Structure 1
């Protein structure tokens, strides 16, 4: 029952149950203690972690290494690396047999905190004790080197992992693809993608999403669109974020009508774009001087109770004023007031300059 409480996110109830059992002379089961400690650690409630350990010790039970692994993992998740290392050293001093899982937990936590020097020391210590690194430990190092941009080192560690007999997986390939994409080496990422196809390793939504985003950022819109088509042909459903990035990139590249068609197509499949894509559609229309269509899209947003971003109004004001449509500029500014925005410097500049340059007055005629 205590384990069930932990699984349901109610570790305090579970701890109360174990305390009641201890008062009746029943020591707490190690698996229940481990689950409760894991739940408290996930919440960052290390005071209750300590209480649970003390309850176990007070009833004559000794915490095992699984329990300490939960504590270490929880501490690293809370970015408490110093305390996690203290616990690790403590269990070594108490004579516990430190296995590969414990070392991997520490190495992964240190890599997440970008403490690669200490992580490498742990790695060397683990190997020196005759414990072979597992796939998760290798992937932790690869992830770290990808994050800091040392992609050659990441590839070296990755290749070493394969030489040790570990097989490439979708997860490990995705780590490399993300690293290459984040740092602008999209063609290297595409090579890994192709390598997956050749070796029969499945591409998942994360694979496609990462590549599509990376290709967009690198200005390779045609390749990104091709990747999107492959995603659909694979039978996978694009995520909302992938969908949104496609629309954004199309609008930025003047393909706003294609973006609108994409939205219509995806809606037939039950997929709605992120709300912020509406603003990109309007800005896309304005950039190609189709302010009427931008105004129509704005009307649709307001009808659906979607609040435009401030910059969206500026795009419309600029586009309409360039066409000399000052009545529509005033209409947009009125809508802007109603949704809670004040006129900014840009709109004021337009109102001041355009009447002067186009011989148009915003004041009613006199006499």
Structure 2
């Protein structure tokens, strides 16, 4: 990933994943934590994790249909500058990665610690992925992986809440709290980029897992399935976090850096979509283009629907690139359109993405809000005629 401006995130976790079987026992500075009697701790928040696994989980995760609907509602609130989770994180304390922090100040007091814990959590899940290749996982490993996934998503939900409720910087104020907020956006960009680099792309997964996902044969309830969907959910969470941060930094020095990193994260998600589509395209015939989906599972399709709404709404509000423009730029950068097969791949992808505008989760109220893809289609027609001439 290219660094954004002067921001350079570290993708190295604070300790090796191979040494983390007992990482929860590592010493943590008690001054950064809020000591509370367990009886007073706020109930674990429900969390949104788009996943096509139908199995039971011990965590407060909703079924896919309900979760997807709620995710659309969260996006609607974020795009409307409303509280993403108005009924959650209402206590003065928050539980992140097994420790309790002061909800209103923890990103000021201990952001490096919290992001390090997030990397450690991802590192432990990556360690489970490595174990897949040479031994079967125990049931306790699978349960622990679900718990680690839960902590990651709750952390991302809290990041959105913190930025919306507590990031209120006033450049004209000289109060101590406001002075502490002055450098928070830069520090958050550093940590978010480092977390994103450590998370990686879908193609960074073991080739056996990625190839099974492309062919829709990846076993559900497996660690590989869990981590692949975690990549999608965390990536989407970071995109929403950066949008919230962008709203808070408009007009300030870090506005462009925030927007650049947001664009980078969106491009990574689009690149993952293209990589999956390319893998699936190789195994289908022209006769089956219409009935063969470029999406290996309904979750990837759901994130494309969310991305369409997100980018087109941002285009209307900030005049940034709409979805079709972002897709076209990413596709041309990643794939040579001078090759006939790649043009067919692009047509196939457009054919299956365009109808998703009808599955808009209620965000697109009028057909006039749908952005035209004629620029993309027109360029592809020119390429086709030139190739056949």
Taking structure 2 as the reference length, the TM-score comes to: 0.28
Taking structure 1 as the reference length, the TM-score comes to: 0.29
Asked which structure has the greater CA Rg, the reply is: 1
Comparing both chains, which one has the higher relative contact order based on Cα–Cα distances under 8 Å and sequence gaps of 6 or more? 2
